[in-house]
Structure formats: structure tokens, C-alpha cells
Amino acid sequence: MNHIKPGDIVARKKYGGDIFFKVKSLIITDTGEMTAILRGLDVRLVADAPLEDLEPQPAEEVLRYRHNDIQKNGAYFRRILQRREAEREAVLSQQNILPDEEFEKKGTLPGEDFFEVPGRVLHIDGDEDYLDKCLHAYEQLKIPAQGVYIPEEQQSARVKDLLLEYTPDILVLTGHDGLVGDKKNYDDLDSYRHSKHFIAAVRSARGLRPGHDDLVIFAGACQSHYEALLKAGATFASAPARVLIHAYDPVFVVERVAYTTISNTLGPSDIIKETITGLEGIGGVEIKGKLRLGYPNPPH
């Protein structure tokens, strides 16, 4: 048997080793079997597996896996920034800006006197590593964001205080989830590891900020109970087809809302196409954007 310990990177033989996991802990089940609790490196899944089903991954394979993920994410980031620039030019062209000759007198270009105020984000995550990745992504995408690590079970107890402290436009409630064992009763919350905790956190947040146009909420992780999350008040949730979602899917949903002007309404399909997982992993309801243009841009 492999000598597997917490912190090791492994793959599951049963599933062909397609996803890499970090071993979070080892437990002994009621039957006396040693089992590993796993969290995905790039998908928001928590799972368990017997040690004999796990294959430790050498450093070079882990490096290759991470490199492929970085390349894939980079392509999404570039596409987002290109789309955003095109949308900014379109919005500015609709503004009542000065004639070109007036800009020439001022020594500026059309659009330079405007500044953008994107939606502000509070991201609550049950995984510290994923939170750090997402905060770095927000910084790259120029999204003002605050992040707080809170285990999924504790998020409902703390979300109201954090909303009062940070007053965000967009709230993310995520971490890890997954169907327990071989349970297939998708309507039963006990079939999910953390869906009930995300639902409780959404309800708590809606008790303070009930309207979607006031507070946009993304909630859920891999295989989460999508319908129950929307019913609880989430604007966007995972996962309609109970699939795995990528660690950055919440970020890409947030970016689309944060950088769409308040004069435009986004349909769910407009947002889902920006995610890595797509419509099997993310769904929601239409919402107005959170971007505001300011004028004039301070000269100093």
C-alpha cells in the first residue's frame, strides 16, 4: 500500500487519474477502512477515497498539470480583457462627451476624462488556497475585492457581519462541495457535503440585502444543489448538471457583472459563456450590471 499522508498530491485510479487532488486528512471509517479526504487542485470538489485507490503523483506530473491549467486560464483572462476593452469603447461612444476639437484643446483623448467604478466584491471561501488564487485573479482583472477564509459550515453565522463591514455589490459564497459517496438523490440535501451550508449562508445574506439588484450572490461549488441555492436567493449558482466546476468559475461570473454597465441587463447565457465549465456547471437569473462611469477624471 502507498504511504500517503496529508499534503500529498494524488489521483484516483477508479476515475483514470483525470483530476489531481491534495490529501487534506486521513480518517478511519466505521468499517475500519483508512480513507483519505481529498480536495481538488483546480476543481471545487471535496471527495473521499480508500488509500488503495490513490496514486501519488511525482513532482514533474504535478508541474505539468498545473502548467496546463495556467495556460488554459490565461486564455480566458486574455479573452475577458479584450471583450472588456471593446465594451468600454462602445459605452464611451454613447456618452455625451466633448467634440474632438475640445479634447484637442485639453490635450486629452475622447474617453480619457471618464473613469470606471466596477462592482465591489466580497469573496467568502472555504478553501484558503483557492481564495488566494481568486484574489490574485481579481487583482489581474482589476476588480476591487475583499476575501475572507471561512469554512463552509461557519459561513452562514458570519456573512451578515461581513456584509455590514464591506458593503459589497457582489457576494461570493463558495468552497468545496460534492455528492456523498454513491448517493444519487439529487433532491435530498443530505446527499451533498456542503450545499446546506451554502444555502443557509445565502438565506442569511438575503435577510439583510434581499434584492438581486442590490446584492448579486454567487453560491455553490462542485455538484452543489443548484435549484435549492436559487430558491434560497442566489443570483447565480452551481451546478445544474451536478458536474465539477473550476476554481475560477466564480471569478469569471463576478467579472462579467462587475464590468457590465448598470444601464445593461445581463441574461444568464451572457455570463455562463465566460466560465470554464459552461451551462452544465453554472446557471442563474438575469441581472443588471454593476459598472458605473464617472466624470471627470481627476487631473492630479
> DSSP labels for 211-251?
-TTT-EEEE--TT--HHHHHHHT-SEES-TT----BTTHHH
Whether 161 shows a pLDDT value over 90: the answer reads yes
Cell numbers found for residue 36? 483519505
Cell numbers found for residue 59? 513532482
| Domain annotation covers residue 66 | no
Nearest Cα residue to 244 out of 4, 10, 21, 9: 21
| Domain annotation covers residue 19 | yes
In the 8-state DSSP scheme, what is residue 277?
Answer: S
In terms of domains, do 206 and 105 share one?
Answer: yes
In terms of domains, do 147 and 273 share one?
Answer: yes
Where residue 231 sits, what CATH number does that domain have? 3.40.50.2300
- Domain interval for residue 13: 9-57
pLDDT tens profile 107-147: 444 556 778 899 999 999 999 989 999 999 999 999 999 99
| Domain annotation covers residue 4 | no
pLDDT tens profile 63-83: 998 888 888 888 888 888 888
In terms of domains, do 26 and 97 share one?
Answer: no
In terms of domains, do 27 and 87 share one?
Answer: no
pLDDT tens profile 220-240: 999 999 999 999 999 999 999
Per-residue pLDDT, 15? 84
Per-residue pLDDT, 95? 59
| Domain annotation covers residue 200 | yes
| Domain annotation covers residue 2 | no
Cβ–Cβ < 8 Å for 261, 291: yes
In terms of domains, do 215 and 103 share one?
Answer: yes
| Domain annotation covers residue 173 | yes
In terms of domains, do 90 and 196 share one?
Answer: yes
In terms of domains, do 237 and 121 share one?
Answer: yes
| Domain annotation covers residue 70 | no
| Domain annotation covers residue 110 | yes
Q: How far is CA 250 from the centre of its chain?
A: 2
Cβ–Cβ < 8 Å for 262, 290: yes
In 10 A of CB 288, how many CB atoms?
16
Share of the chain above pLDDT 70, in %: 91
In terms of domains, do 24 and 161 share one?
Answer: no
In terms of domains, do 37 and 168 share one?
Answer: no
In terms of domains, do 82 and 50 share one?
Answer: no
User: Given CA atoms 27, 33, 34, 35 in this order, what sign does their dihedral have?
Assistant: negative
pTM attached to this predicted model: 0.85
